[in-house]
Amino acid sequence: MAETKTSKVKELKHLDRQDNYGNWSHVVTFDNGDSGFCNTKDKEGATYAEGKELTYQIEEKTSKDGTKKYYTIKAERKMGGPYVPRTPSKGANEFKAEASMKAAELASNIIAIKEGVSIEDFPKYYKAFLNQMWGSIDQVYAKQ
């Protein structure tokens, strides 16, 4: 049974392995002594950046042959972020706008995680990505 905890990431070791679903394997160690295997979509494991405080679930597992015990770690998913843009999804233009805004949100969240950006500085990064996306959106509208 998984247990939910919160601690700072002390170390992240990249195992340089990718599974059939595109997930990269890592071993994460926390300040509280917990350690275990985790998977991320990005090779660098930005979700588990060193120094980041993280709420996670840790679960003890047993190897297939039953001889070894190990732990798996899963970061808790947050619903939305500090800035979640909303646009109507009616036609192709609106869909492109929504997709661009979502890309900007995800990219800025990744930067915030990797660089340890504070909540106060986050809007600067978000707006930088969003402005680039809006330029692309303007080009889409100009072609119609």
Whether residue 70 sits in one domain with residue 39: yes
Whether residue 68 sits in one domain with residue 18: yes
Q: What is the pLDDT of residue 22?
A: 87
- Is the pLDDT at 7 greater than 90? The verdict is yes
Is the residue at 44 inside a domain?
yes
Instruction: Count CB-CB contacts under 10 A for residue 111.
Output: 17
Is the residue at 106 inside a domain?
yes
Full domain range(s) for residue 9: 3-75
The structural domain count of the chain equals: 2
Whether residue 69 sits in one domain with residue 113: no
- Is the pLDDT at 143 greater than 70? The verdict is no
Whether residue 136 sits in one domain with residue 103: yes
> What does the alpha-carbon distance between residue 50 and residue 43 come to, in Å, rounded to a whole number?
14
Is the residue at 28 inside a domain?
yes
Whether residue 12 sits in one domain with residue 71: yes
Of 50, 75, 100, the domain-final residue: 75
Whether residue 105 sits in one domain with residue 67: no
Q: To the nearest whole number, what is the mean pLDDT of the chain? A: 80
Of 75, 108, 134, the domain-final residue: 75
Whether residue 10 sits in one domain with residue 64: yes
> What does the alpha-carbon distance between residue 102 and residue 60 come to, in Å, rounded to a whole number?
35
pLDDT digits (tens, 9 = 90+) for 60-118: 999 999 999 999 999 987 644 444 444 444 556 676 677 777 777 777 777 767 667 77
Of 75, 105, 125, the domain-final residue: 75
Is the residue at 82 inside a domain?
no
Range 15-26 burial, b when 16+ CB lie within 10 A, else e? eeeeeeeeebbb
